[in-house]
Amino acid sequence: MSNVKTLPSWRALTQHGVMAQANHDEVARLNVLTHLNLHLSSRVIPGLRQVYEKHVHPAFVKDHGREPETRHEVRKVMMEDGYCQLWSALRRNTMEMRHQTGRAMVLRQAGVLSNKVEQLNKGCDTLQLDPKIEVPANINQVDIHCQPGCYYQEYFDQDVTVAASYDVGLFVTTAGLLGALSDGGGQAIANWLKTEHPNFKPKRILDLGCTVGHNAVPLAQAFPDAEVIAIDVATPCLRYAHARAKSLGVDNIRFVQANAESLPQYADESFDLITSAMFWHEASHQMLPKALKTVQRLLKPEGLTIHLEQPQYHGKSVFEQFMRDWDTYYNNEPYWGPMHDLDLAEQLDKAGFDGSAMFEIGVVAKVDEKIFGKSAAGDSGEDYGRAPVWNAFGIWKNKQ
Ligand SMILES: C[S@@+](CC[C@H](N)C(=O)[O-])C[C@H]1O[C@@H](n2cnc3c(N)ncnc32)[C@H](O)[C@@H]1O
């Protein structure tokens, strides 16, 4: 990595009021994993295409007398290749080690974190927990992306460890591209709205599956006069998210425990803007249509719903689909592939929108100088430290 200017360091993350504290060895571990992920994505992944084009694809065509037709056929032959196995095992291991490091780090300060969270949340009516909300089937089958305890497990009263561990470890997987507050996606949506739709000033915003509020907070900051309602089913995440937002001085978010499938507590046409970030790939085929119908019901006429999500597979080569589908098989993301196979316009149609009006865009977040240094912003020489573009789909409701 001769011309690397700044490798991202976990130390550059903003230490908000409920962030777990890392000691020297923990930072070193998180950084090694982050840099290994960078190495895999920038140096090892290009080799996979070569392996496919030079060896695996020709062998498949020779054996079958035809091109591979699906990503599943590509997966079966690629996963027999040693280079591919090595990449896959390393990728899986960085994920498992991210969680192990994060868990160990937050467990040794679990009590301190719970106390900080409780202090910040004390007496606030902007945290609305509801013990009657059950963990839905779409996330109670496996620990999603190998995260022990998934999003919702509580090991003791007032536990926030799964949320704190998620906050600490996301940097490893995204290699700093989400910025010092892991909020690059929400920032990118806010930037896009301000640039492309400067007259759109939502008064009421709903964020679905907010987790620890990474992407609800920048929207609340971009629209300080708006009331933001951020919902999730996971108690520890909501507790932590509320305290985190408070510690960042953000007061216009109400964190509510609710299932996105129905949300009966909210009136029809009561939100101007409904968002989500990386939510739909965790939705099952049963849950997704119900939640989209709810979005349609809750959105005001001329309101906007927009969602950050990995791009759909449709139109991509079977090799690219195979690469994108890795999470379905090796990262405990059972709905990832099935969701990315859907025709979203058709789903929106079924939910009561005019699906033909759906748009897909790339929204851009700034390179965070806190992480990549000043020189990175205009640097085109490396695969990272460049302005990340996040895929999003959306639709305006009944807009002429
Ligand atoms: C990948 S995370 C989303 C990340 C988050 N939006 C952010 O900005 O960082 C998915 C979240 O959706 C939540 N979730 C899953 N199914 C849900 C449902 N049916 N209703 C509400 N929240 C749900 C999970 O608890 C989890 O916190």
DSSP state of 129: -
For residues 226 and 295, the answer to whether their CB atoms sit within 8 Å is: no
- Tell me how far the alpha carbon of residue 137 lies from the centroid of ligand 1, in angstroms: 13
Task: Say how many CA atoms lie within 13 Å of 323 toward its Cβ.
Answer: 17
Instruction: Report which residue type is found at 361.
Output: I
Listed in sequence order, the DSSP H helices in the chain are 24-39, 45-51, 57-64, 71-78, 82-107, 110-121, 137-140, 161-174, 184-196, 216-222, 235-247, 287-298, 318-324, 326-330, 336-340, 344-350, 369-372
Query: pTM for this one?
Result: 0.95
For residues 6 and 23, the answer to whether their CB atoms sit within 8 Å is: no
CATH fold of 177-396, please?
Rossmann fold (3.40.50)
261-277 tens-digit pLDDT? 999 999 999 999 999 99
| Angle ∠(20,162,335) on CA atoms, nearest 5 | 135
| Whole-angstrom distance, CA of residue 333 vs CA of residue 146 | 9
* CB 170 less than 6 A from any atom of ligand 1: no
Task: Say how many CA atoms lie within 13 Å of 290 toward its Cβ.
Answer: 13
> Which of 183, 209, 220, 243 lies closest to 20, judged by CA?
243
At residue 279, the pLDDT reads: 98
* CB 261 less than 6 A from any atom of ligand 1: yes
* CB 237 less than 6 A from any atom of ligand 1: yes
192 Cβ contact partners less than 8 Å away, ≥ 6 residues apart = 361, 363, 364, 392
At residue 338, the pLDDT reads: 96
- Tell me how far the alpha carbon of residue 281 lies from the centroid of ligand 1, in angstroms: 10
At residue 313, the pLDDT reads: 97
* CB 210 less than 6 A from any atom of ligand 1: yes
Placement of tokens 């009590």 in the chain: 111
DSSP state of 356: G
161 Cβ contact partners less than 8 Å away, ≥ 6 residues apart = 103, 106, 107, 110, 113, 149, 155, 236
- Tell me how far the alpha carbon of residue 260 lies from the centroid of ligand 1, in angstroms: 9
Placement of tokens 């022990």 in the chain: 148
> Which of 214, 15, 233, 242 lies closest to 118, judged by CA?
242
> Which of 193, 126, 140, 170 lies closest to 278, judged by CA?
170
* CB 211 less than 6 A from any atom of ligand 1: yes
Secondary element (H or E) of residue 271: strand 271-277
At residue 142, the pLDDT reads: 86
- Tell me how far the alpha carbon of residue 234 lies from the centroid of ligand 1, in angstroms: 8
| CA-proximal residue: ligand 1, atom 14 (nearest) | 209
Listed in sequence order, the DSSP H helices in 133-211 are 137-140, 161-174, 184-196
Sorted by where each begins, the domain ranges of the chain are: 10-124+141-166, 177-396
Residue 306 tokens, joined: 């927009």
At residue 374, the pLDDT reads: 73
At residue 385, the pLDDT reads: 56
| CA-proximal residue: ligand 1, atom 27 (nearest) | 211
| Whole-angstrom distance, CA of residue 29 vs CA of residue 15 | 18
Pocket perturbation via mutation, ligand 1, pick of 211, 257, 274, 284 by most ligand atoms within 8 A of CB: 211
| CA-proximal residue: ligand 1, atom 9 (nearest) | 214
> Which of 215, 208, 206 lies closest to 233, judged by CA?
208
| Whole-angstrom distance, CA of residue 251 vs CA of residue 221 | 9
| Whole-angstrom distance, CA of residue 288 vs CA of residue 282 | 9
Q: Spell out the per-residue pLDDT of the chain, length 400, in tens.
A: 434 457 899 999 999 999 999 999 999 999 999 999 999 999 999 999 999 999 999 999 999 999 999 999 999 999 999 999 999 999 999 999 999 999 999 999 999 999 999 999 999 999 999 999 999 988 888 899 999 999 999 999 999 999 999 999 999 999 989 999 999 999 999 999 999 999 999 999 999 999 999 999 999 999 999 999 999 999 999 999 999 999 999 999 999 999 999 999 999 999 999 999 999 999 999 999 999 999 999 999 999 999 999 999 999 999 999 999 999 999 999 999 999 999 999 999 999 999 999 999 999 887 888 888 876 554 444 445 567 899 999 999 987 6
Task: Say how many CA atoms lie within 13 Å of 263 toward its Cβ.
Answer: 31
DSSP state of 154: -
